[in-house]
Amino acid sequence: MGSGQQTPTRRQLLNAIGLMGGTAALYQMMTTFGHAAETRFDGPPNLSGARKGASVIVLGAGLAGMLAAYELEKAGYKVRILEYQNRPGGRNWSLYGGDTYTEMGGATQHVKFAKGNYLNPGPWRIPHHHRTLLHYCKAFGVALEPFIQFNHNAYVHTTEAFGGAPQRFRSLAADFEGNVAELLGKAVDQKALDTRLTPEDVDRLKEALRSWGMLDENMRYTKGLRSSSHRGFDLPPGGGVNGAPKPSDLFPFDEVLKSGVWAQMAFFMNDEFQTTMFQPVGGMGKIGEGFGRKVGHLITYNAKVTKLHQDRSGVTVSYTDVAKGGAAVEAKADYCVCTIPLSVLSQIENNLSEKKNAAIQAVPYSGQVKIGLEMRRRFWEEDADIYGGHSFTNQQIGLVSYPNNNFFQDGPAVLLGAFASGAGGFNLAGMTPEERIEVALKEGSVFHPESYRKEFLSGASVAWSRVPWAMGCCARWNEQTRRDHYQELVALEDRVVLAGEHASYVGCWMEGSLLSALDAITRLHKRALEA
């Protein structure tokens, strides 16, 4: 669209549509243009005009609870938060040197990491399209930095291929693509695709395969500078007399298939896992702290909720002080936003409806395990040219993930030595913290056998099954439970509404908890104004 033409600019068009059809039409049109396609967030809710004296009690000072409290207080409500822990943030959390953590069962860990180093036990990466979270990070002064999600030079390991030797992702991915391109090229030549494609399409496809798969002039994927420029060289290009590169050998295709690298390739294509991703500077827990700065004055810590009761006059919440002990006390409010994880809420006495309780009881929780290992030096950078990103394995630890900050620094650094889920997660969770570290060292050594144990200083682990205030990692819905219970779970019931990642379709992400909170309080506010 050149200047001087009479066609409206896109902005003018959007403005016009916005004026004519309101925000819904504008949103739809923006989606058509490819904007706003990946988020439901179009700004803070800007609630206002709460009835004088109206009050809300929020259960849980995780991100959902704190956002609900922040926006409701701004709208004019009298707000109070009850929190089981002695800190804000909920599952948004970092463990630093000097911290002490006691899990269910009583095992206590004293984290020994050097100053500034940390483990993010829960959330650790933020997709670029989780705009609610990004919005409030900016609004609350939480600095973000890149999270290195995709590193071609990290390793892929499986006990099922290459005799258990890890290989670089880029080499496996290049060989997978090269072989697929060659095979598809052969199918084209054998006219296997002629019914689907015009002759022009066939030509374009062959050119695409040649160029994407790094095929040679005969449409073959062969050892050479072309394939090596994707998969890596035996001797990389250099300067001067011996500057000429030497190409690398290709892997046998059957081993490439067995490596399962296609699963990693697909993983990185998932919209939650595409670059660019972010992390807070100084640890994920900085987000919880940022929210805490805004609503900390509303929070009662160490409050274990024992009963939730509503009637025509209001909501009564009973709680005990887990630090000081003593009998339960009552807190009253007109309304309640309950963000307690279902794993805990399912055991709290309440007078919500039978259907609501059936929904609360219907959702199982996952049990991931994260392990941080502090190493004396950054051998993955110094010896293996790996700067951030993940090396994947089919062992219990799942992966080793490298720190995304302080590159090239001397001194100790913490890598993520396990992100275990499924059977491996349960198995590691059932161990003592010392046993978990031993498994992490043993299995992680497959990537860095020379250094892994040698440079190890100390470790810390969090098994989400045993986290006292969550008793699980995240709500695990399936199609059946969504169909049978989701609408009932999120429905506002008289004076009580639930919020949290479990009340969203963005489960197990901070964005889900925030979107859920905004939706819940918007409905609650409407109800309160209509009352």
Pairing of strands 303-311, 349-350: parallel
- Answer for which of 56, 172, 338, 363 binds other proteins (CB under 8 A) is 363
The smaller minimum CB distance to other proteins, of residues 290 and 341, is found at 341
Residue 364 C-beta: closest distance to other proteins, Å: 4
Tokens of 66: 């704190």
Q: Determine contact, residues 62/87, Cβ cutoff 8 Å.
A: no
- Answer for which of 56, 498, 508, 514 binds other proteins (CB under 8 A) is 508
The smaller minimum CB distance to other proteins, of residues 260 and 296, is found at 260
Task: Please tell me whether residue 343 binds other proteins under the rule CB under 8 A.
Answer: yes
- Answer for which of 210, 231, 294, 390 binds other proteins (CB under 8 A) is 390
- Answer for which of 99, 216, 255, 272 binds other proteins (CB under 8 A) is 272
CB-based contacts of 514: which residues, under 8 Å, 6+ apart? 63, 64, 67, 132, 133, 136
Phi-psi region of 141 (alpha: psi -120 to 50; beta: other; left: phi over 0): left
Phi-psi region of 412 (alpha: psi -120 to 50; beta: other; left: phi over 0): beta
CB-based contacts of 235: which residues, under 8 Å, 6+ apart? 245, 246
Q: Taking the CA atoms of 483, 485, 486 and 492 in sequence, report the sign of the dihedral they define.
A: positive
Tokens of 513: 């908890």
List binders of other proteins among 311-340 (CB under 8 A). 340
Classify residue 47 by its DSSP letter: -
Task: Please tell me whether residue 516 binds other proteins under the rule CB under 8 A.
Answer: no
The smaller minimum CB distance to other proteins, of residues 122 and 247, is found at 122
HSE toward the beta carbon, residue 520, CA cutoff 13 A:
38
Task: Please tell me whether residue 255 binds other proteins under the rule CB under 8 A.
Answer: no
Task: Please tell me whether residue 59 binds other proteins under the rule CB under 8 A.
Answer: no
Task: Please tell me whether residue 424 binds other proteins under the rule CB under 8 A.
Answer: yes
- Answer for which of 509, 515, 521, 524 binds other proteins (CB under 8 A) is 509
Interface with other proteins by CB under 8 A: which range of 134-142, 171-179, 204-212, 415-423? 415-423
The smaller minimum CB distance to other proteins, of residues 211 and 432, is found at 432
Interface with other proteins by CB under 8 A: which range of 204-212, 243-251, 373-381, 393-401? 393-401
Q: Determine contact, residues 167/251, Cβ cutoff 8 Å.
A: yes
List binders of other proteins among 83-122 (CB under 8 A). 84, 104-106
List binders of other proteins among 287-316 (CB under 8 A). 304-305
Phi-psi region of 60 (alpha: psi -120 to 50; beta: other; left: phi over 0): left
Tokens of 191: 């006219």
Task: Please tell me whether residue 396 binds other proteins under the rule CB under 8 A.
Answer: yes
Interface with other proteins by CB under 8 A: which range of 188-196, 206-214, 325-333, 360-368? 360-368
Task: Please tell me whether residue 466 binds other proteins under the rule CB under 8 A.
Answer: yes
Task: Please tell me whether residue 503 binds other proteins under the rule CB under 8 A.
Answer: no
What single string gives the DSSP state of each residue in 375-442? Answer: ESS-HHHHTT---SEEEEESSTT-EEEE-SSSTT--S-EEEEEEEE-HHHHHHHHTS-HHHHHHHHHH
List binders of other proteins among 137-166 (CB under 8 A). 156, 158-160
Is cis: bond before 276, omega within 30 of 0? yes
- Answer for which of 27, 267, 301, 387 binds other proteins (CB under 8 A) is 267
CB-based contacts of 381: which residues, under 8 Å, 6+ apart? 387, 402, 407, 408
The smaller minimum CB distance to other proteins, of residues 185 and 507, is found at 507
Interface with other proteins by CB under 8 A: which range of 6-14, 21-29, 235-243, 396-404? 396-404
List binders of other proteins among 430-449 (CB under 8 A). 430
Residue 363 C-beta: closest distance to other proteins, Å: 8
Pairing of strands 496-498, 155-157: unpaired
CB-based contacts of 284: which residues, under 8 Å, 6+ apart? 92, 93, 94, 120, 122, 123, 124
Residue 180 C-beta: closest distance to other proteins, Å: 16
Q: How far apart are CA 223 and CA 212, in angstroms?
A: 16
Interface with other proteins by CB under 8 A: which range of 291-299, 324-332, 378-386, 397-405? 397-405
Residue 429 C-beta: closest distance to other proteins, Å: 4
The smaller minimum CB distance to other proteins, of residues 12 and 159, is found at 159
Tokens of 467: 């986290």
Interface with other proteins by CB under 8 A: which range of 133-141, 241-249, 404-412, 413-421? 413-421
What is the helix (H) or strand (E) element at residue 530, kind and residue range?
Answer: helix 510-530
Q: Determine contact, residues 175/250, Cβ cutoff 8 Å.
A: yes
Task: Please tell me whether residue 13 binds other proteins under the rule CB under 8 A.
Answer: no
- Answer for which of 291, 392, 402, 452 binds other proteins (CB under 8 A) is 392
Task: Please tell me whether residue 264 binds other proteins under the rule CB under 8 A.
Answer: yes
Interface with other proteins by CB under 8 A: which range of 43-51, 241-249, 327-335, 466-474? 466-474
Burial 250-284 (b: 16+ CB within 10 A, else e): bbebebbeebbbeebeeeeeeeeeeeebbbbebbb
- Answer for which of 293, 364, 387, 522 binds other proteins (CB under 8 A) is 364
Residue 166 C-beta: closest distance to other proteins, Å: 12
Task: Please tell me whether residue 347 binds other proteins under the rule CB under 8 A.
Answer: yes
Pairing of strands 78-82, 299-300: parallel
